[in-house]
């Protein structure tokens, strides 16, 4: 995208020249601001969205004072949820992220966030905290081994560092680095899952969502001898659904399989595509579900497990329905078989 915005002539270019993109032809809500927060260009949908939340853009360049304050206070790429103070606009707010655009400008990516969407995010967050609580014991156990390794190697370096040969000294330092990296990944996975934030992303990469799910559940998988097999169809890798929704559903379904198992299980996640939908199948080879459990699985508070609120599957199905998809149970000769249907990103 062109970074020289001294004039607006570039807005009259063809939609795509092979090197430059004309904002007026872009369908997404995109805006370009200077480093000082002056709006110098935007797509039609961005202008419309700004007008809906009461920001006047009749004269360009123009200031975005309150919105820019929020954006500037946030890290680049971090999503914010913003509504003008004392706004008369009901149920509408902006989800925004800013990204560097050359050395002098920022690209602002915007989307409308309705109150219904905010409510969904908050419901998912509460359920995520419950899921996190169920994982805490496993995660704490997973932290002990690398922490003990770091403490031991640190004591070696302090007490005997001067006596160690260079090769031994380097090996000890590398061991500390590996253990610290394992700690970091475990903590980052936990914090990332539990974090509440606006979902400005309107589409999700299934491979990335599954990877983050596996990262969070890695302690439970390893301690129970479980495994996850993934087979994604090349045409069924992106859905038009916020990543938070996809990850929440996957975490709940995989945890459901692990907690029901009395022996190591394999959970297989596969995808397929129709014209405009993606089908995600989560199948395990565990003990399965009784006819009563299948019939009542999505009822609030129904559970066959101790220390479980019975809201995981209910929240997952509600989340799928709220984004225009579905979650259902299909008959299976072995284990449990859940099928998620979500809107596909156009090819």
Confidence category of residue 87, pLDDT binned at 50, 70, 90: low
96 vs 6 pLDDT, higher one: 96
Sheet containing 277-284: which strands, arranged edge to edge? 227-231, 266-273, 277-284, 337-343, 326-330
Verify that 209 and 345 share a domain, yes or no. yes
For 125-144, the pLDDT digits (tens) are 666 666 666 666 656 656 77
Q: What is the pTM of this model?
A: 0.52
* Domain end position, chosen among 114, 133, 164: 114
Residue 83 tokens read as: 């509504």
Q: Which range of residues forms the domain containing residue 321? A: 201-347
- Tell me whether residue 119 is in a domain: no
Cβ neighbours of residue 169 closer than 8 Å, sequence gap 6 or more: 157, 161
**pLDDT at 326 exceeding the cut of 80:** yes
CATH code where residue 311 lies? 3.30.565.10
Classify residue 140: in a domain, yes or no: no
Is 195 a domain residue?
Answer: no
**For the residues of 155-168, what is the DSSP string, one character each?**
HHHHHHGGGS-HHH
Of the three residues 60, 93, 114, the one that is the final residue of a domain is 114
The whole-angstrom separation of Cα 337 and Cα 332 is: 6
pLDDT band at 94 (very low <50, low <70, confident <90, very high): confident
- Over residues 250-264, the mean pLDDT reads 88
Over the chain, what is the mean pLDDT? 80
Instruction: Give the range among 150-164, 229-243, 321-335 with minimum mean pLDDT.
Output: 150-164
Distance CA 45, CA 68 (A): 19
49, 29 in Cβ contact below 8 A?
yes
Span 69-90, average pLDDT:
78
Distance (Å, whole) CA 124 – CA 117: 11
How many whole angstroms separate alpha carbon 229 and alpha carbon 287?
A: 18
Total of domains in the chain? 2
62-75 per-position pLDDT tens digit: 988 889 999 998 88
- For residue 194, being part of any structural domain is answered with no
């Amino acid at each position: 995208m062109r970074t020289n915005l001294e004039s607006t002539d570039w807005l009259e270019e063809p939609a795509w020249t092979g090197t430059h993109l004309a904002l007026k032809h872009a369908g997404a809500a995109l805006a370009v601001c200077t480093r000082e927060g002056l709006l110098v260009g935007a797509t039609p949908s961005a202008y419309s969205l700004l007008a809906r939340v009461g920001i006047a853009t009749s004269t360009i360049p123009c200031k975005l004072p309150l919105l820019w304050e929020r954006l500037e206070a946030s890290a680049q790429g971090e999503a914010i949820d913003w509504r003008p103070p004392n706004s008369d606009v009901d149920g509408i707010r902006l989800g925004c992220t800013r990204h560097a655009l050359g050395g002098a400008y920022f690209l602002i990516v915007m989307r409308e966030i309705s109150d219904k969407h905010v409510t969904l995010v908050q419901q998912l967050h509460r359920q995520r905290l419950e899921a996190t609580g169920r994982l805490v014991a496993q995660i704490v156990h997973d932290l002990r081994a690398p922490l003990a390794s770091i403490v031991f190697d640190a004591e070696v370096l302090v007490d005997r560092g001067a006596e160690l040969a260079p090769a031994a000294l380097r090996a000890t330092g590398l061991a500390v680095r590996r253990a610290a990296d394992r700690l970091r990944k475990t903590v980052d996975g936990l914090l990332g899952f539990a974090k509440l934030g606006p979902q400005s992303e309107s589409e999700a990469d299934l491979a990335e969502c599954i990877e983050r799910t596996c990262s969070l559940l890695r302690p439970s998988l390893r301690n129970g001898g479980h495994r996850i097999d993934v087979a994604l169809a090349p045409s069924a890798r992106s859905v038009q659904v916020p990543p938070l929704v996809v990850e929440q559903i996957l975490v709940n379904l995989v945890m459901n399989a692990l907690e029901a198992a009395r022996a190591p299980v394999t959970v297989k996640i596969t995808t397929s595509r129709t014209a405009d939908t993606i089908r995600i199948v989560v199948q395990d080879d565990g003990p399965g579900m009784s006819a009563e459990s299948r019939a009542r699985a999505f009822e609030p508070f129904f559970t066959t497990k101790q220390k479980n609120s019975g809201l995981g599957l209910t929240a997952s199905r509600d989340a799928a329905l709220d984004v225009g998809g579905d979650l259902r149970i299909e008959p299976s000769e072995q284990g449990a078989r859940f099928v998620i249907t979500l809107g596909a990103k156009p090819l």
